[in-house]
Each structure stands twice: as structure tokens, then as C-alpha cells.
Amino acid sequence: MDQTYGHGMKLNMDGASKGSTGLAGAGGIIRDARGHTIVAFQEFLGLATNTFAEISAVAKGLEIAHNMGLNEIWVEMDSKVGLYLFSRKTLVTGKSNTSWLRFAIYALCFVFLFHISFGKEILLPTTLPTKQ
């Protein structure tokens, strides 16, 4: 595990859907600076796009971190589209089903010392429930 994020926590998460809009799920894991699991989560999202699932995973992970009283977190995701959405300097609104989630995430970010990066070091202890 990368030790460059100091004494804070690291959130690795992922989202997936079956097809462009299909059964979707999101999940993640929060670990401390030594790599020990603090909490893992998963959520069935119903019918959704892959981008919606990716952003839902970030939102759920930040919500859990906030509820646990964590104020420093490194978010690592494997979605270049998701990373692009979060790296924009302005919040895009409109009919996109991700706009409200992005707004919620930006609101949560005001309570965190926050860093987000692209990576593929995602090891979930369970599989996402995308099949029925």
C-alpha cells in the first residue's frame, strides 16, 4: 500500500453495471495508513449506468467516512471518467443522473482533507451484487 497519504484513511471503491444501463452495484473499503481494513461496504443500485455506479461508490464511501468522524481521506478510483468529473473546476448541472450525486460529494468534501487519484489497487472482500 502506498504510504504517501500519511496518517489518514484511504478509500478504494468501484462501481459496475451489466451493460450500458443494467443491474448495478457499488462497493468499497476504507483502510488505515498501515493497510488495515476499517470498514467495507457494498450496495445494490438497481438499474443504472456504470458512471452512476462509480460515483455512487464515492458518495457512499465519503458518507461512511463522515459518519465515522474521519476528516482526512485519500480516495482512489479506477474510473477515468469518474476522475474527470471530480477534477472539473465547476459543477456541471443538468439532466445527468450523476449531477445530484456530484453535488452531494462536493458538499461532503468541505469536511475532509481530500485527495483523489486514479489507481487499480482495489481489493474488495466481497463481490458486488450485479447479478440476480
**In this structure, is the dihedral angle defined by the CA atoms of residues 101, 82, 4 and 40, taken in order, positive or negative?**
positive
Q: Which residue is associated with the grid cell 452531494? A: 104
Q: Provide the CATH topology of domain 9-118.
A: Nucleotidyltransferase; domain 5 (3.30.420)
pLDDT tens for the chain, 132 residues: list them. Answer: 444 444 578 888 889 999 888 999 999 999 988 889 999 999 999 998 888 888 888 888 888 888 888 877 788 877 777 666 666 544 444 445 555 556 556 555 555 545 555 455 444 444 444 444
pTM over 0.75: no
The answer to whether 80 and 118 have CB atoms below 8 angstroms apart is yes
Q: What are the structural domain ranges in the chain?
A: 9-118
